[in-house]
Amino acid sequence: MNSIWRRIGAALALIASWAPSVLCAQEQAEVVVIDRDDVRIERSCTVDPSGMPIADANGDGVLHIVGDNITVAFSRTALNGADASTAQDQLRGVGIRITGKNVVLRGAQVQGFKTAVWASGADGLVVEGCTFSNNYAQRLRSTLGAEDPADWLWPHKNDGGEWRENYGAAVYVERSKGVTLRLNSARRGQNGICLSRVDDSFVFDNDMSFLSGWGLALHRSSRNVVDHNSFDFCNRGYSHGVYSRGQDSAGILAFEQCSDNLFAFNSATHGGDGFFGFAGLEALEGAGVEHKGLGCNRNVLHGNDFSYAAAIGIELTFSFDNLFQSNRLVGGNYGVWGGYSHNTRVLDNTFAENTLSALAVEHGDGLRVEGNRFERNARAIELWWDEDADLASKPWVKANGSGSRGAEVGANEFREERLALELRGGASARWLGGEGLATAVDERSRLERVDALAPLATSVDPRLSELRGTRAAVGARAALAGRERILVTEWGPYDWTEPLLWRAADEAGAHVYELLGMQVAVSTSKSDSVRLKVEPGPRSTRYVLSARKAGAVTPYEFRVRLPARELAASGLLVDASWSATFGAWSSDPRTDAAAWRAEVERGVRCELRNLSFPFGGGGPSELVGAPQAVREARLPHERFGLVAATKLELPAGAWRVTTHSDDGVRVRIDGATLLENWTHHGPTRDQAQFEVAATRVVAIEVEYFELDGHAVLEFALEPAPPRAGAK
């Protein structure tokens, strides 16, 4: 009953907070039409954009709000910075620039810019009821088969405004206090809300979801309250069953000494990380600072849902005295990662079905784990210490230590856990209960079973009883549960509402598309050179396209007409039969290629339809769909190689070969080397072109070696685009 009255009171308070602004809006008569760049606003008014695209020519904002203590309300027309045909990675400039204090911005629709709203020194700013969709996003280069390192973000530097310059934002606020951001939304962009040096502010009831970067990002920002927001599906690095790295995207990001913040009842599911916190480069190794005790400290994460993260539900490292309480952490790689964390309290959380560990802490000190529920995780609790010379040399580690000791674990529930607790490398823990549960403790570590733990000195954060938000964000997207619902296109995560023709799989020389978004096709059309098989399903319809001519390459176009629009796809069916051999090697291919090849060719022979191998940290025998002989060979994860050859009939014209490799790769066409990156390297994309004067059969050979670490090989063949200047 008390909770009902609290919600009624919150609603009345919200209405009351709007009332003065509404009165002000009724009293003001001035309407300002935005029909050009650099319009200045010095007093309260209603803004009416012209509807035509207005470019921010000098990069400092189309609309400049410079007056103090004013309200600027928008009409229903959007402020648009570019033509709708402009690619998102080509969007530039700022829609609204705010430098006044105590400004209220209400009802704005801003699209077509790199940053929709940029506010500086804007103490008391209120941004409410605004929509910031269709702004800047980087074009992603990762594919379903393999990630591209170029897609990784770099959140570590922002003292010079690098986040805004490099990645844009829906709302970017800097050097401000007492800011309120409420009831705003964004879709189809990269970043939602970014706060840099913003303190004592309130972010609530917003929905910044389905973005390719960060839903909310904090930099050097403290004592803020963030509640009842949705930051779901903020992801750029995931392909189900292939890779799940996140590439430093996150529902909530907190970097460089963000302390004393409260994050309560937010939903940040399906992110790269749900919550990604890091003490910061200055805290870790900066010059001229006292490193002892520096970090993202004393933050409270309460009642949030960080499930189905590509990488980690909560990551918070090199920091002190943080509290994770009553959160939901289901279905990620890790539920919590707490490297080099001190005195972290993990209380009353739900951990389930995390594929690597529910709770993993390396070099952590003073961890308390109590009252949590662990169910069907690969490992429930994993604590360890290891040698890390690079980090050990950092000033932060020298000042604060790197032990893995003093953990206290008690009163937790474990269901269907194969391993409840693992200690290794010199970790130590005191454990209350746990009788009959599986543990693994190496010879350097120590587990002490106790009858009682010291009383936990914890109190309820008083801000929890004063939250301003009322949206039921947690659980609002329960129908999209599961990481398999993360579909990342070249512009970011799919939102499951707009119609999408999704190339879901390549099967035995065929391309399989799915029509998503609860759509029903009116009709389909395709190139005459391909066959089409339609397979209706409960959630979507599958369209299987296969070539009519065997042993050849077949370009195609495919269209699906819907009641209100048409979706189109194009591709190239390569009906290849590769004669391939996987094998282990000991001769270094970089110094003795002949001996290396001879070793590989003594390996396992098989027939393949394509060369697309997301090995990751495994080897050929662990690949999904690998031929039985390859699976049974139990090939190593490192120092393996591949030799594969095929013959294809190619039409006359220019052709492009693209490889994505880690490590060495070489491609020969009719016996001549066309492409070569025969080195030890990280995931790298290489391209080369060749000409076919007349339609003929072409012999293609690919050699590949993996030395150590991560591994991937993709081979693609496609018509080459026209050269610049060609007629």
The first and second tokens of residue 599, run together, are 């070793």
Distance CA 476, CA 699 (A): 54
Distance CA 522, CA 437 (A): 57
Helix (H) or strand (E) holding 309: none
Of 704 and 452, the structure prediction assigns the larger pLDDT to: 704
CATH class assigned to 578-719: mainly beta
DSSP 618-650: S-GGGSTT--HHHHHHT--SSSEEEEEEEEEEE
Residue listed under structure tokens 């746990």: 434
Number of residues in the chain:
727
20-29, 338-347, 522-531 — which one is most confidently predicted on average?
338-347
Lowest mean pLDDT among 14-23, 33-42, 563-572: 14-23
Q: What is the mean pLDDT of residues 405-433?
A: 93
Cα distances (Å, whole numbers) of residue 627 to 463, 569, 581, 648: 58, 30, 11, 22
How high does pLDDT run on average in the chain? 92
Residue listed under structure tokens 């801003």: 110
Cα distances (Å, whole numbers) of residue 309 to 214, 231, 612: 13, 12, 25
DSSP 410-423: ES-EEES-S-SEEE
CA atoms within 13 A on the CB side of 122: 30
CB distance 208 to 192 below 8 Å:
yes
Residue-wise pLDDT tens digits, 240-299? 988 898 999 999 999 999 999 999 999 999 999 999 999 999 999 999 999 999 999 999
Distance CA 359, CA 340 (A): 14
Residue-wise pLDDT tens digits, 639-679? 999 999 999 989 899 999 999 999 999 999 999 999 999 99
Residue 200 buriedness (CB in 10 A; 0-12 / 13-18 / 19+) = middle
CB distance 441 to 423 below 8 Å:
yes
Q: What is the mean pLDDT of residues 200-205?
A: 98
Angle 308-309-310 from CA coordinates, rounded to 5°: 115
Q: Are strands 566-574 and 553-561 parallel, antiparallel or unpaired?
A: antiparallel
Band (454; pLDDT cuts 50, 70, 90): confident
Alpha-carbon dihedral sign for residues 267, 269, 275, 276:
negative
**pLDDT more than 70, % of the chain:** 95
**Residue 613 contacts by C-beta under 8 Å, 6 or more apart in sequence?**
620, 623, 642, 711, 712, 713, 714
pLDDT of residue 372: 97
Lowest mean pLDDT among 121-125, 350-354, 628-632: 628-632
The partner residues of 662 in beta bridges, in order of sequence, read 712
Going by the DSSP 8-state scheme, the letter that residue 568 receives in this structure is: E
Distance CA 372, CA 365 (A): 19
**Residue 156 contacts by C-beta under 8 Å, 6 or more apart in sequence?**
255, 256, 278, 280, 281
Of 628 and 17, the structure prediction assigns the larger pLDDT to: 628
pLDDT of residue 19: 38
Radius of gyration of the chain, Cα coordinates, nearest whole angstrom: 28
Q: Where in the chain is the domain with CATH 2.60.40?
A: 499-574
DSSP 90-106: G--SEEEEE-SSS-EEE
The partner residues of 105 in beta bridges, in order of sequence, read 72, 127
CB distance 153 to 249 below 8 Å:
yes
CB distance 673 to 666 below 8 Å:
yes
The first and second tokens of residue 536, run together, are 């209706």
pLDDT of residue 722: 67
Q: Where in the chain is the domain with CATH 2.60.120.380?
A: 578-719
Does residue 21 have a pLDDT over 80?
Answer: no
Does residue 14 have a pLDDT over 90?
Answer: no
CB distance 147 to 125 below 8 Å:
no
Nearest Cα residue to 648 out of 599, 714, 701: 701
DSSP 154-221: -TT--TTSHHHHHH-EEEEEEEEES-EEES-EE-SSS--EEEEEEES-EEES-EE-S-SSEEEEEES-
Residue listed under structure tokens 């606003």: 41
CATH for the stretch 499-574: 2.60.40
Does residue 106 have a pLDDT over 80?
Answer: yes
Q: What is the mean pLDDT of residues 414-439?
A: 92
Helix (H) or strand (E) holding 111: strand 110-111
pLDDT of residue 29: 54
pLDDT of residue 28: 47
CB distance 343 to 366 below 8 Å:
yes
The partner residues of 73 in beta bridges, in order of sequence, read 46, 106
Q: Are strands 553-561 and 523-526 parallel, antiparallel or unpaired?
A: antiparallel
Cα distances (Å, whole numbers) of residue 545 to 559, 565, 573: 12, 21, 8
Residue-wise pLDDT tens digits, 672-696? 999 999 999 988 889 999 999 999 9
pLDDT of residue 591: 94
Band (1; pLDDT cuts 50, 70, 90): very low
Does residue 371 have a pLDDT over 50?
Answer: yes
Of 315 and 720, the structure prediction assigns the larger pLDDT to: 315
Band (337; pLDDT cuts 50, 70, 90): very high
Band (18; pLDDT cuts 50, 70, 90): very low
